[in-house]
Structure 1
Amino acid sequence: MTDSPECPTALYRLYDQDGALLYIGIAVDPEVRLRVHSREKTWWPRVAQRSIEWFGSRPDAEAAEVQAIACEGPSQNVSHSTTRQRGDAKAEYRSPYPKPRQVRIPTDMWTQFGRAAKLGGTSRAKVVSQMIDWYIGEPGVMPPARPPLTPGSPS
């Protein structure tokens, strides 16, 4: 998937068990984004229900997100919120990344990897994250798709 403006983009809403709206967000791949929320947000265990609405482009989804947050007032959003401001969510964030990880990879391979990820419409970080999720057996995760090989590239 790609993050280009023309790419279909989902607007998702997360609710607690009583139907109270917790959060509204957008994502090209909502399943991946929700997995990130589940790892990072202290309020995630309260999520009991969700809804997903698809838009034909990212700009359309962004406009719908801004309007939905302003009109519906989810309790956990900070961006576009009329009741919360930057810094309010610091206590609700638990980073799964306590420190940067280092991996030694030859520069030419790292460059090729970046090109291949870009050809596949993604980034190195997303491919590495998806590969790790698949490798450790996260439910429903498939290995990342390889982009088409170009002439002269290793097979």
Structure 2
Amino acid sequence: MTTAVTRTALYRLYDIDDRLLYIGIAVDPETRLRVHSREKTWWPMVSQRSIEWFADRPAAEAAERSAIVTEKPVHNVSHSTTRKRGDAIREYRSPYPKPRQVRIATQRWGEFGRVARLGGTSRGKVVAQLIDWYIGEPGAELPVRPQKVQAGEAQDG
């Protein structure tokens, strides 16, 4: 079995004072940074980043390990000599620790977003309201559903 050689990025994230916050690797750093932005409590401190490319993942992993040990980023746990895995768990405070996935047809998802915007809200808020109502959270109500308007029609108002 052969494995494809995939270029891999080593990225560093800094705060406004050039303090190194985090070092990581990814084949697609833009996607990885979007995940960090949703999951990491320290993300709002990030103001700068650098990206260095390596020919393959093993080379990037070696560079990452070395960089974490020598540069001591504030929020890394793996390869850190000063932080433990439990520290990262206690640090995380979001009520939504992991994004959830639901498979919905693309056209229906688009229509859902369009109708949610007509109602002055977002898909995420509507889904959260529906879940709260469905499981019987005290005070939860069904979200208000706007009158459906076909694409291209004018809305009465």
CA shift in 2, pair 1:34/1:102, >3 Å: closer
Deviations 1:7-53 (A, max 9, x none): 00000000000000000000000000000000000000000000000
Give the 5 Å matches for 1:25-40.
Answer: 25-40=24-39
What does residue 10 of structure 1 align with? Answer: 9
CA contact (8 A) 2:8 2:56 kept: yes
Contact 2:39–2:97 (8 Å) recurs in 1? no
Cα deviation, 1:124-149, whole Å, max 9, x if unaligned, reads: xxxx9xxx8xx97xxxxxxxxxxxxx
Larger radius of gyration: 2
Q: Report the alpha carbon displacement of residue 101 of structure 1 after superposing the two structures with TM.
A: 4.7
Structure 2: stretches of 5+ with no match in the other structure: 114-157
Return the offset for 1:92: 3.1
Rounded Cα–Cα distance in structure 2 between residues aligned with 1:14 and 1:81: 16
Contact 1:79 1:86 in 2 (8 A): yes
In structure 2, the partner of 1:78 is 77
Aligned to 1:44: 43
Determine the C-alpha separation between the residues in 2 that align with 1:101 and 1:8.
Answer: 28
2:58 alignment partner, SS class: helix
For the 8 Å contact 1:5–1:57, the answer to whether it is kept is no
Counterpart of 2:55 in structure 1 is 56
Q: Tell me, what secondary structure is at the counterpart of 2:87?
A: coil
Question: Residues 99 and 55 of structure 1: is their aligned pair in 2 closer, same or farther, counting only changes over 3 Å?
Answer: closer
Which structure carries more relative contact order (alpha carbon 8 Å, separation 6+)? 1
- Per the TM alignment, residue 97 of structure 1 is displaced from its structure 2 partner at its CA by 5.3
C-alpha distance in 2 between matches for 1:97 and 1:77: 17
Percent sequence identity is 62
One-letter code aligned to 1:45: P
1:6 Cα deviation from its structure 2 partner: 1.4
Cα deviation for residue 90 of structure 1 reads: 1.2
Distance in 1 between the 2:90 and 2:9 partners?
27
How many residue pairs were aligned?
Answer: 106
1:13–1:95 distance in 2 versus 1, CA, 3 Å:
farther
What letter is aligned with 1:14?
Answer: L
1:96: Cα distance to partner? 3.9
Gaps of 5+ in 1: 106-127, 137-155
Amino acid at match of 1:7: T
CA contact (8 A) 1:5 1:58 kept: no
